[in-house]
Structure 1
């Protein structure tokens, strides 16, 4: 005989049925009892954020690092509208997660916080799933999880507040998700692609986030072809320690690597969408054959149209191409034999023009790369500072790197750093943010990291300005003062919020802060005082 529970208990139990152990969120009228049941009845963990949007961002990073569907919960009305930027970041990044959003009572259409929540969600690109009745709770939750994984985007499950204290039986429901690899490339297009690859004298392999699980197969193909390996930003670190890894492809390449890419005659792209930053608005793809492989049809042809497009699994396709190259006894290209990888991966260091009372940013990054824990998770916020971090700070692999770049927002990095830290508590998290980004979205969540006791190192690149706008005024010989801010001391803020804080205005203070890293006892903040006229330009 089935036991009648309250709906809020059935929602919590459904989360447990899906193997959910952690949810991020903010409690309100429509979700507080569900959260309580998840913690007390289902032995789950609730991570309370200071802002609703933060909880979604935490869940997005949790998804990326833990490789499982992240879950967040908020209440209704303004709680959901506060999540719009975060949901858009997730939708643009194709990140599967579930947001359990309360809704105002169905019986009270004039409720103060009533809003058409479906339309709010649609504007972000996320999916919307309505909880239909108290009796369909388990199936509605299952549908949300299924859609998140299949559609690879956030799904918002809309939960009317007046359902929560209704009684209904709980029947577990978990929908199987098709997780087998996509199809194997075949037919005339495959023959044409192999012909292009076989005839190439200077082939190069590019892998994106869609090829992360195919590393071994792609490396075997690259070795067989004697082709250099490169990645998109999101796949950073995928080919770490491979002797012919030239690191990030595109506007973030070193000058020598950029020239090598320009000289290649065939680019074999696995799981990369080929947007403008990767291709430098198409310049890097001119006068060469492009073979694009992706299991998602819509990912092909978005930036430029390839010469051969294979809608297929990256790993299986790499194996297939390798097989036919061997069958036809195609000789290796020899492209990698005379490459100077050290030169190809060395980013230049310009002259030091840093003003008195500031530390040189490039020098600080070089020292941080030497001192920071090697097994770190690296998270970056948006802003002018970020491109130099991407090219000068190493990562162990794509799962150890979170770049909050999908929507071009600033102020979302610290929240994702918390989600990453919760997903992998055994690893230290290093997060880079700008002063504007930290004031916008970091200051309200640093204490969350303190409360959670996370091993978090936050580096604030503080040029006392909105740097990207500042440099535009400078370039046009206009007064940049409207972009400049006299912020409070971020190091003191970090200490007042329960962490450790270090202000760095010169190399001596930098070394003092670096010396404190091995002895850190909780979240720490290193504030780099930078000259707004001497911060390197963004490379994108």
Structure 2
């Protein structure tokens, strides 16, 4: 057995079924070996796109995303996606070819381990042929346990060296998620016992914990409303007491209700400035309990009255037990009237003046029409940009795996790769990559990837022929914005050139071909939606408040 084969076999034996990448001379044998071990390979057109496909796959499936790159520039091309995955705590394994450490000079030589760690990832290395299998297993385990990306650097001089056919692999016991301390649970229960209007706010940590059932049980016992961060969107889909996303994407009803709460229980949410609307979302007198696996996260971005270090699901279970022991049960803000109000005041129910023109469609009208046309079983992956709020506000998702939000690093150009990864992760659902024209052009090569694999996905492009966020931020200040406006791009034509189906939309009637496509789903459908560039997103003022 060679080192590359050992790497491939270890990963396949531990459940890796799919991986992504871009093949060069440095990682050719590793990619080949992992394919021969049984994993299916999807080849991207750029390493950043490949990492984002792995990231989107991990978020939509709940499994580890795996990617492979060439050494040097192959690795650095992947850095923006790797940083997004690190900030999001995505379980992702990057198999990166690397120059041997003893190499004195090479065009490709760079300290990949140091760069990976500066980006927030874990750096591991295949140390020798004898340890290759063990090193691979350790790297995979670390990304699963630590819930963040791991870069396994594979020196190119080792990849084809012989190694033991049956390496000694250490036995690793199954781990239970960490439970909180009894005193922390008691302090949280004390606050819950005296609260009359609590809300449970669930973030990315709650998603990774799979904590929906436990959080809903806690909310029912104390009469709490439910909300999520953008990263947790969909976790409480269908629950009649969920007010949606808390923060810049909050509906008017959510803002109204969250301004009345007296206790916020944040599970796996950092309480960053976007989530709390720069400290204005919740009343200043509301008490705050923050639950997180990372003790350094508690109180780091927002004041807290009680901190609980522990897994979200385990912490919620223990709080329910403590409240049961005390005989506490409350209705809070819950009731039939509240249910009716929440169901009647979604974002799509809020009145607005349609600003469509003969040449362009209002992005809100577009989003609502698509929400009606698309199947309920869907995965919505977004990009970053002026349009960003529309998919989150208007496109419903079936659960927390149905919303992929690669905005932890706020980079434009990541959404198309995420949508491709989600399409591969969940072929039972329609994947919708909701992106802007700027992000679409940055990642244009991956449109060919989606077409090459005949992925039945929708690429929804909110095309305002500009970097809209900059137009709407700086334009009203009197600054010239010619540098962030561009000639219109015909994405429908580009889609056809890449082997996909493309349509141009200027009104809801132009979406008729979508209905026909849904019946056949023979490869990607690109919707070039010419949105009115004069419509300013509701959430943009909130986003730029800190500038």
- TM-score bracket, normalised by the shorter chain, equals over 0.9
| Conserved 8 A contact 1:384-1:537 | no
| Conserved 8 A contact 1:138-1:171 | no
Aligned residue among 235, 239, 244 for 1:242: 239
Aligned residue among 205, 211, 214 for 2:206: 211
Deviation at 1:105, TM superposition (A): 4.2
Residue correspondence of structure 1 range 88-487 to structure 2 within 5 A:
88-106=83-101, 108-172=103-167, 173=169, 176=172, 178-187=174-183, 189-212=184-207, 213-285=210-282, 286-337=284-335, 338-339=337-338, 340-347=341-348, 348-441=350-443, 443-487=444-488
Deviation at 1:281, TM superposition (A): 1.5
User: Distance between the aligned counterparts of 2:476 and 2:515, measured in 1?
Assistant: 34
| Conserved 8 A contact 2:114-2:123 | no
Deviation at 1:203, TM superposition (A): 1.4
User: Distance between the aligned counterparts of 2:466 and 2:130, measured in 1?
Assistant: 54
User: Distance between the aligned counterparts of 2:322 and 2:354, measured in 1?
Assistant: 53
Cα distance, 1:519–1:349 mapped onto 2, change above 3 Å: farther
| Conserved 8 A contact 1:386-1:538 | no
List runs of 5+ in structure 2 lacking aligned partners.
none
Structure 1 length as normaliser, TM-score?
A: 0.94
Deviation at 1:175, TM superposition (A): 6.0
1:60 match: 55
Cα distance, 1:118–1:313 mapped onto 2, change above 3 Å: closer
1:442-471 CA deviation, whole Å, 9 max, x = no partner?
Answer: x10011111112111011000000001111
User: Distance between the aligned counterparts of 1:179 and 1:366, measured in 2?
Assistant: 44
List runs of 5+ in structure 1 lacking aligned partners.
none
SS in 1 for 2:211: helix
| Conserved 8 A contact 1:104-1:114 | yes
| Conserved 8 A contact 2:198-2:332 | no
Aligned residues: 533
Structure 2 length as normaliser, TM-score?
A: 0.93
Deviation at 1:367, TM superposition (A): 0.5
1:382-415 CA deviation, whole Å, 9 max, x = no partner?
Answer: 1110112101110011111101111000101111
Deviation at 1:530, TM superposition (A): 1.5
SS in 2 for 1:284: coil
Deviation at 1:191, TM superposition (A): 2.6
Deviation at 1:174, TM superposition (A): 6.5
| Conserved 8 A contact 1:257-1:344 | no
SS in 2 for 1:167: coil
| Conserved 8 A contact 1:256-1:343 | no
1:170-223 CA deviation, whole Å, 9 max, x = no partner?
Answer: 334366375412114412x43332121111121112122222322112212212
Say if 2:33 is the partner of 1:51: no
Greater shift after overlay, 292-301 or 360-369? 292-301
User: Distance between the aligned counterparts of 1:487 and 1:504, measured in 2?
Assistant: 13
1:71 match: 66
| Conserved 8 A contact 1:7-1:165 | yes
| Conserved 8 A contact 2:472-2:536 | no
| Conserved 8 A contact 1:134-1:163 | yes
Aligned residue among 6, 10, 18 for 2:6: 10
Deviation at 1:376, TM superposition (A): 0.8
Deviation at 1:538, TM superposition (A): 3.4
User: Distance between the aligned counterparts of 1:382 and 1:302, measured in 2?
Assistant: 25
The Cα RMSD (Å) is: 1.9
Cα distance, 1:477–1:199 mapped onto 2, change above 3 Å: same
1:221-247 CA deviation, whole Å, 9 max, x = no partner?
Answer: 212222211111122122222221111
User: Distance between the aligned counterparts of 1:158 and 1:192, measured in 2?
Assistant: 45
Greater shift after overlay, 73-82 or 518-527? 518-527
SS in 1 for 2:375: coil
Greater shift after overlay, 352-361 or 269-278? 352-361
SS in 1 for 2:355: coil
Deviation at 1:344, TM superposition (A): 4.5
Greater shift after overlay, 42-51 or 104-113? 104-113
Greater shift after overlay, 454-463 or 291-300? 291-300
SS in 2 for 1:28: coil
| Conserved 8 A contact 2:123-2:152 | yes
Cα distance, 1:175–1:465 mapped onto 2, change above 3 Å: farther
User: Distance between the aligned counterparts of 1:493 and 1:403, measured in 2?
Assistant: 25
1:491 match: 492
Cα distance, 1:211–1:221 mapped onto 2, change above 3 Å: same
User: Distance between the aligned counterparts of 1:174 and 1:431, measured in 2?
Assistant: 41
Deviation at 1:287, TM superposition (A): 1.0
User: Distance between the aligned counterparts of 1:431 and 1:113, measured in 2?
Assistant: 34
